[in-house]
Amino acid sequence: MEKKIKPCTENEEILKQRFLALRDTLDLLNGKWRFCILLNLHYYEKLRFKDFFEVSEGISPKVLSSELTTLEAHQLIKKKLEHTPTQDITYYMLTEHAGEIWTVLNTLIEFGLSNRKEVIKSLSD
Amino acid sequence: MEKKIKPCTENEEILKQRFLALRDTLDLLNGKWRFCILLNLHYYEKLRFKDFFEVSEGISPKVLSSELTTLEAHQLIKKKLEHTPTQDITYYMLTEHAGEIWTVLNTLIEFGLSNRKEVIKSLSD
DNA sequence: CATCTTACTTTCCTGGAGGTTACTAAACAC
DNA sequence: GTGTTTAGTAACCTCCAGGAAAGTAAGATG
Protein backbone atom coordinates (compact mmCIF):
# COMPACT_ATOMS: atom_id res chain seq x y z
CA MET A 1 0.00 0.00 0.00
CA GLU A 2 2.00 2.93 -1.33
CA LYS A 3 -0.40 5.56 -0.11
CA LYS A 4 -0.86 4.93 3.62
CA ILE A 5 -4.36 4.99 4.96
CA LYS A 6 -4.55 7.83 7.45
CA PRO A 7 -4.90 6.49 11.01
CA CYS A 8 -6.34 8.45 13.93
CA THR A 9 -4.36 8.99 17.13
CA GLU A 10 -5.24 5.84 19.06
CA ASN A 11 -2.43 3.36 19.60
CA GLU A 12 -2.66 0.18 17.51
CA GLU A 13 -2.22 -2.32 20.32
CA ILE A 14 -5.10 -0.79 22.24
CA LEU A 15 -7.23 -0.90 19.09
CA LYS A 16 -6.47 -4.60 18.74
CA GLN A 17 -7.46 -5.27 22.34
CA ARG A 18 -10.70 -3.43 21.78
CA PHE A 19 -11.41 -5.52 18.69
CA LEU A 20 -10.96 -8.68 20.71
CA ALA A 21 -13.08 -7.38 23.56
CA LEU A 22 -15.89 -6.53 21.16
CA ARG A 23 -15.59 -9.93 19.50
CA ASP A 24 -15.87 -11.57 22.95
CA THR A 25 -18.97 -9.64 23.91
CA LEU A 26 -20.74 -10.25 20.64
CA ASP A 27 -19.90 -13.95 20.75
CA LEU A 28 -21.41 -14.03 24.20
CA LEU A 29 -24.66 -12.36 23.15
CA ASN A 30 -24.98 -13.93 19.71
CA GLY A 31 -27.14 -16.86 18.92
CA LYS A 32 -30.84 -17.02 18.69
CA TRP A 33 -31.63 -17.65 22.36
CA ARG A 34 -28.88 -16.40 24.65
CA PHE A 35 -30.03 -12.85 25.26
CA CYS A 36 -33.61 -14.08 25.29
CA ILE A 37 -32.79 -16.32 28.22
CA LEU A 38 -31.04 -13.47 30.00
CA LEU A 39 -33.93 -11.04 29.50
CA ASN A 40 -36.41 -13.61 30.74
CA LEU A 41 -34.32 -14.36 33.80
CA HIS A 42 -34.15 -10.66 34.51
CA TYR A 43 -37.89 -10.42 34.13
CA TYR A 44 -38.90 -13.54 36.07
CA GLU A 45 -35.96 -13.63 38.52
CA LYS A 46 -35.79 -17.44 38.55
CA LEU A 47 -36.90 -20.13 36.10
CA ARG A 48 -36.82 -23.91 35.96
CA PHE A 49 -35.72 -25.83 32.90
CA LYS A 50 -39.29 -26.50 31.83
CA ASP A 51 -40.31 -22.85 32.37
CA PHE A 52 -38.08 -21.77 29.51
CA PHE A 53 -40.26 -23.67 27.09
CA GLU A 54 -43.15 -21.41 28.04
CA VAL A 55 -41.30 -18.11 28.03
CA SER A 56 -38.97 -18.79 25.08
CA GLU A 57 -41.46 -20.23 22.67
CA GLY A 58 -39.86 -22.48 20.07
CA ILE A 59 -36.66 -23.43 21.83
CA SER A 60 -35.76 -27.12 21.87
CA PRO A 61 -34.41 -28.94 24.92
CA LYS A 62 -31.11 -29.62 23.23
CA VAL A 63 -30.52 -26.00 22.39
CA LEU A 64 -31.79 -24.78 25.75
CA SER A 65 -29.46 -27.14 27.54
CA SER A 66 -26.43 -26.06 25.57
CA GLU A 67 -27.25 -22.37 25.89
CA LEU A 68 -27.71 -22.65 29.63
CA THR A 69 -24.39 -24.47 29.89
CA THR A 70 -22.62 -21.77 27.91
CA LEU A 71 -24.14 -18.95 29.92
CA GLU A 72 -23.26 -20.71 33.14
CA ALA A 73 -19.68 -21.24 31.97
CA HIS A 74 -19.47 -17.49 31.36
CA GLN A 75 -20.85 -16.88 34.82
CA LEU A 76 -23.87 -14.95 33.66
CA ILE A 77 -26.35 -17.41 35.13
CA LYS A 78 -26.18 -19.95 37.93
CA LYS A 79 -28.16 -22.93 39.11
CA LYS A 80 -29.80 -22.82 42.52
CA LEU A 81 -31.26 -25.83 44.27
CA GLU A 82 -34.35 -25.19 46.36
CA HIS A 83 -35.22 -27.86 48.89
CA THR A 84 -38.89 -28.43 49.58
CA PRO A 85 -40.13 -31.13 51.98
CA THR A 86 -40.95 -33.44 49.09
CA GLN A 87 -38.26 -32.63 46.48
CA ASP A 88 -35.37 -30.51 45.31
CA ILE A 89 -35.98 -28.07 42.48
CA THR A 90 -33.29 -26.66 40.22
CA TYR A 91 -33.72 -23.02 39.34
CA TYR A 92 -31.69 -20.86 37.02
CA MET A 93 -30.93 -17.28 38.05
CA LEU A 94 -28.74 -14.42 36.96
CA THR A 95 -25.42 -14.00 38.76
CA GLU A 96 -24.20 -10.73 40.23
CA HIS A 97 -21.85 -10.54 37.27
CA ALA A 98 -24.88 -10.49 34.96
CA GLY A 99 -25.80 -7.09 36.38
CA GLU A 100 -23.09 -5.65 34.16
CA ILE A 101 -24.42 -7.33 31.07
CA TRP A 102 -27.80 -5.98 31.91
CA THR A 103 -26.56 -2.43 31.33
CA VAL A 104 -25.06 -3.62 28.05
CA LEU A 105 -28.35 -5.13 26.94
CA ASN A 106 -30.14 -1.92 27.86
CA THR A 107 -27.80 0.07 25.66
CA LEU A 108 -28.49 -2.30 22.77
CA ILE A 109 -32.22 -2.06 23.39
CA GLU A 110 -32.18 1.74 23.50
CA PHE A 111 -30.27 1.84 20.24
CA GLY A 112 -32.70 -0.63 18.69
CA LEU A 113 -35.67 1.47 19.76
CA SER A 114 -34.24 4.74 18.47
CA ASN A 115 -33.07 3.05 15.29
CA ARG A 116 -36.55 1.70 14.68
CA LYS A 117 -37.97 5.23 15.02
CA GLU A 118 -35.29 6.39 12.59
CA VAL A 119 -36.25 3.75 10.04
CA ILE A 120 -39.94 4.51 10.36
CA LYS A 121 -39.18 8.21 9.94
CA SER A 122 -37.06 7.62 6.82
CA LEU A 123 -39.75 5.40 5.33
CA SER A 124 -42.31 8.21 5.63
CA ASP A 125 -40.03 10.61 3.72
CA MET B 1 -48.96 -23.99 33.79
CA GLU B 2 -50.87 -24.23 37.03
CA LYS B 3 -48.34 -22.30 39.10
CA LYS B 4 -47.79 -18.95 37.34
CA ILE B 5 -44.25 -17.74 36.94
CA LYS B 6 -43.91 -14.54 38.94
CA PRO B 7 -43.41 -11.55 36.66
CA CYS B 8 -41.80 -8.27 37.68
CA THR B 9 -43.63 -4.95 37.35
CA GLU B 10 -42.83 -4.04 33.74
CA ASN B 11 -45.70 -4.14 31.28
CA GLU B 12 -45.61 -7.08 28.85
CA GLU B 13 -46.06 -5.09 25.67
CA ILE B 14 -43.06 -2.93 26.51
CA LEU B 15 -41.03 -6.05 27.24
CA LYS B 16 -41.93 -7.42 23.83
CA GLN B 17 -40.88 -4.19 22.12
CA ARG B 18 -37.59 -4.33 23.97
CA PHE B 19 -37.05 -7.91 22.82
CA LEU B 20 -37.56 -6.87 19.23
CA ALA B 21 -35.31 -3.85 19.60
CA LEU B 22 -32.54 -6.00 21.03
CA ARG B 23 -33.01 -8.55 18.25
CA ASP B 24 -32.70 -5.74 15.68
CA THR B 25 -29.51 -4.36 17.16
CA LEU B 26 -27.85 -7.73 17.48
CA ASP B 27 -28.83 -8.66 13.93
CA LEU B 28 -27.23 -5.45 12.82
CA LEU B 29 -23.95 -6.08 14.63
CA ASN B 30 -23.74 -9.83 14.15
CA GLY B 31 -21.74 -11.52 11.50
CA LYS B 32 -18.04 -11.90 11.26
CA TRP B 33 -17.22 -8.62 9.58
CA ARG B 34 -19.86 -5.98 10.21
CA PHE B 35 -18.55 -4.40 13.39
CA CYS B 36 -15.03 -4.84 12.08
CA ILE B 37 -15.88 -2.66 9.12
CA LEU B 38 -17.48 -0.08 11.40
CA LEU B 39 -14.50 0.06 13.76
CA ASN B 40 -12.09 0.43 10.86
CA LEU B 41 -14.14 3.20 9.34
CA HIS B 42 -14.15 4.95 12.68
CA TYR B 43 -10.40 4.54 12.92
CA TYR B 44 -9.49 5.48 9.35
CA GLU B 45 -12.39 7.87 8.63
CA LYS B 46 -12.70 6.82 5.00
CA LEU B 47 -11.77 3.68 3.09
CA ARG B 48 -11.98 2.47 -0.48
CA PHE B 49 -13.23 -0.97 -1.44
CA LYS B 50 -9.72 -2.30 -1.86
CA ASP B 51 -8.54 -0.80 1.44
CA PHE B 52 -10.81 -3.14 3.36
CA PHE B 53 -8.76 -6.10 2.15
CA GLU B 54 -5.75 -4.66 3.95
CA VAL B 55 -7.45 -3.66 7.19
CA SER B 56 -9.89 -6.58 7.43
CA GLU B 57 -7.51 -9.38 6.66
CA GLY B 58 -9.26 -12.47 5.30
CA ILE B 59 -12.46 -10.92 4.00
CA SER B 60 -13.50 -11.87 0.48
CA PRO B 61 -14.86 -9.44 -2.11
CA LYS B 62 -18.22 -11.17 -2.16
CA VAL B 63 -18.66 -10.93 1.59
CA LEU B 64 -17.28 -7.40 1.75
CA SER B 65 -19.63 -6.27 -0.96
CA SER B 66 -22.68 -7.76 0.74
CA GLU B 67 -21.72 -6.44 4.17
CA LEU B 68 -21.19 -2.94 2.80
CA THR B 69 -24.56 -3.11 1.09
CA THR B 70 -26.27 -4.17 4.31
CA LEU B 71 -24.59 -1.49 6.39
CA GLU B 72 -25.47 1.12 3.81
CA ALA B 73 -29.09 -0.04 3.75
CA HIS B 74 -29.17 0.44 7.52
CA GLN B 75 -27.71 3.89 7.08
CA LEU B 76 -24.64 3.25 9.16
CA ILE B 77 -22.23 3.87 6.29
CA LYS B 78 -22.43 5.82 3.05
CA LYS B 79 -20.56 6.04 -0.22
CA LYS B 80 -18.84 9.27 -1.13
CA LEU B 81 -17.42 10.09 -4.55
CA GLU B 82 -14.27 12.14 -4.59
CA HIS B 83 -13.41 13.80 -7.88
CA THR B 84 -9.74 14.20 -8.73
CA PRO B 85 -8.56 15.70 -12.04
CA THR B 86 -7.83 12.23 -13.44
CA GLN B 87 -10.55 10.07 -11.87
CA ASP B 88 -13.43 9.62 -9.43
CA ILE B 89 -12.82 7.56 -6.30
CA THR B 90 -15.52 5.87 -4.25
CA TYR B 91 -14.97 6.04 -0.50
CA TYR B 92 -16.98 4.50 2.27
CA MET B 93 -17.57 6.54 5.43
CA LEU B 94 -19.67 6.39 8.56
CA THR B 95 -22.92 8.35 8.56
CA GLU B 96 -23.98 10.72 11.30
CA HIS B 97 -26.39 8.04 12.44
CA ALA B 98 -23.42 5.74 13.05
CA GLY B 99 -22.33 8.03 15.84
CA GLU B 100 -25.00 6.42 17.96
CA ILE B 101 -23.81 2.93 17.21
CA TRP B 102 -20.36 4.02 18.16
CA THR B 103 -21.46 4.55 21.74
CA VAL B 104 -23.10 1.12 21.60
CA LEU B 105 -19.88 -0.49 20.39
CA ASN B 106 -17.97 1.25 23.14
CA THR B 107 -20.29 -0.19 25.76
CA LEU B 108 -19.76 -3.66 24.30
CA ILE B 109 -16.01 -3.13 24.26
CA GLU B 110 -15.91 -1.92 27.85
CA PHE B 111 -17.91 -4.94 28.96
CA GLY B 112 -15.60 -7.24 27.01
CA LEU B 113 -12.54 -5.71 28.61
CA SER B 114 -13.88 -5.92 32.15
CA ASN B 115 -15.21 -9.40 31.49
CA ARG B 116 -11.80 -10.50 30.31
CA LYS B 117 -10.25 -9.21 33.54
CA GLU B 118 -12.96 -11.10 35.43
CA VAL B 119 -12.14 -14.33 33.62
CA ILE B 120 -8.41 -13.92 34.20
CA LYS B 121 -9.09 -13.24 37.88
CA SER B 122 -11.30 -16.31 38.28
CA LEU B 123 -8.69 -18.47 36.53
CA SER B 124 -6.06 -17.44 39.08
CA ASP B 125 -8.30 -18.52 41.99
C1' DC C 1 -45.31 -51.37 40.07
C1' DA C 2 -47.05 -48.51 36.37
C1' DT C 3 -47.27 -43.95 34.76
C1' DC C 4 -46.12 -38.99 34.68
C1' DT C 5 -43.12 -35.18 35.06
C1' DT C 6 -38.73 -33.10 34.94
C1' DA C 7 -34.25 -32.43 33.16
C1' DC C 8 -31.72 -33.48 30.25
C1' DT C 9 -28.73 -36.23 26.24
C1' DT C 10 -28.24 -38.36 21.64
C1' DT C 11 -28.76 -38.78 16.88
C1' DC C 12 -29.79 -37.10 12.73
C1' DC C 13 -30.70 -33.37 9.44
C1' DT C 14 -31.06 -28.76 7.06
C1' DG C 15 -30.44 -23.71 5.79
C1' DG C 16 -27.68 -20.26 5.39
C1' DA C 17 -23.43 -17.53 6.57
C1' DG C 18 -19.36 -17.16 4.82
C1' DG C 19 -15.26 -18.91 1.93
C1' DT C 20 -12.92 -19.86 -2.94
C1' DT C 21 -12.29 -19.01 -7.36
C1' DA C 22 -13.16 -17.11 -11.48
C1' DC C 23 -15.25 -13.63 -14.28
C1' DT C 24 -16.47 -8.77 -15.97
C1' DA C 25 -16.38 -3.95 -17.02
C1' DA C 26 -14.35 0.38 -16.70
C1' DA C 27 -10.58 3.33 -16.26
C1' DC C 28 -5.62 4.04 -16.24
C1' DA C 29 -0.63 3.19 -17.30
C1' DC C 30 2.93 2.23 -20.56
C1' DG D 1 -3.45 -1.85 -27.87
C1' DT D 2 -1.74 -4.58 -24.08
C1' DG D 3 -1.36 -5.12 -19.21
C1' DT D 4 -2.89 -3.52 -14.55
C1' DT D 5 -5.82 -1.78 -10.99
C1' DT D 6 -10.36 -1.12 -9.06
C1' DA D 7 -14.94 -2.43 -7.90
C1' DG D 8 -17.47 -5.35 -7.87
C1' DT D 9 -20.68 -9.98 -9.47
C1' DA D 10 -21.56 -15.05 -10.25
C1' DA D 11 -21.25 -19.96 -9.40
C1' DC D 12 -20.11 -23.18 -6.41
C1' DC D 13 -18.95 -25.37 -1.94
C1' DT D 14 -18.43 -26.27 3.12
C1' DC D 15 -19.35 -26.21 7.76
C1' DC D 16 -21.92 -25.63 11.78
C1' DA D 17 -25.74 -23.36 14.58
C1' DG D 18 -29.83 -24.70 15.46
C1' DG D 19 -34.18 -27.66 14.79
C1' DA D 20 -36.86 -32.39 15.14
C1' DA D 21 -37.60 -36.38 17.41
C1' DA D 22 -36.60 -39.90 20.30
C1' DG D 23 -34.32 -41.83 24.34
C1' DT D 24 -32.93 -41.89 29.34
C1' DA D 25 -32.68 -41.55 34.32
C1' DA D 26 -34.50 -40.14 38.61
C1' DG D 27 -38.02 -38.81 41.42
C1' DA D 28 -43.13 -38.09 42.33
C1' DT D 29 -47.83 -39.84 42.03
C1' DG D 30 -51.47 -43.03 42.39
Q: Where are the domains of chain A?
A: 15-124
Residue B1: the pLDDT is 39
Residue B120: the pLDDT is 75
* A119 C-beta neighbours (distance < 10 Å), count: 13
Give the CATH class of B37-124.
Answer: mainly alpha
Nucleotides of chain D in contact with protein CB (under 7 A) are: 5-11, 17-23, 27-29
Separation of B65 CA and C17 C1' (Å):
14
Rounding to the nearest 10 degrees, give the CA dihedral for residues B72, B78, B82, B88.
Answer: 10
Cα gap B116→B110, rounded to integer Å: 10
Residue A79, CA: closest nucleotide via C1'? C7
Q: With contact defined as beta carbons under 8 Å apart, do B8 and A45 qualify?
A: yes
Domain A15-124 sits in CATH at 1.10.10.10
What rounded mean pLDDT belongs to chain B?
89
With a cut of 90, say whether residue B106 has pLDDT above it. yes
For residues A8 and B34, which has the higher predicted lDDT (pLDDT)?
B34
- CB-based contact, A79 to chain B, within 8 Å: no
Cα gap A17→A39, rounded to integer Å: 28
Separation of A31 CA and C25 C1' (Å):
40
**Reduced 3-state DSSP string for B8-42:** CCCCHHHHHHHHHHHHHHHHHHCCCCHHHHHHHHH
* Segment A50-57 mean pLDDT: 96
Residue B38: the pLDDT is 96
When pLDDT is cut at 50, 70 and 90, the band that residue B84 belongs to is confident
Residue A117: the pLDDT is 82
Calculate what percentage of chain B has a pLDDT beyond 90.
69
Calculate what percentage of chain B has a pLDDT beyond 70.
90
Inspect the interface and report whether the beta carbons of A21 and B105 lie closer than 8 Å: no
In tens, the pLDDT along B33-57 reads 999 999 999 999 999 999 999 999 9
- CB-based contact, B8 to chain A, within 8 Å: yes
With a cut of 90, say whether residue B66 has pLDDT above it. yes
Helices A34-44 and A12-29, interaxial angle, to 10°? 70
- CB-based contact, B20 to chain A, within 8 Å: yes
Residue B4: the pLDDT is 56
Q: Pick the closest to residue B70 from B40, B92, B42, B47 (CA basis).
A: B92
* Segment B97-122 mean pLDDT: 88
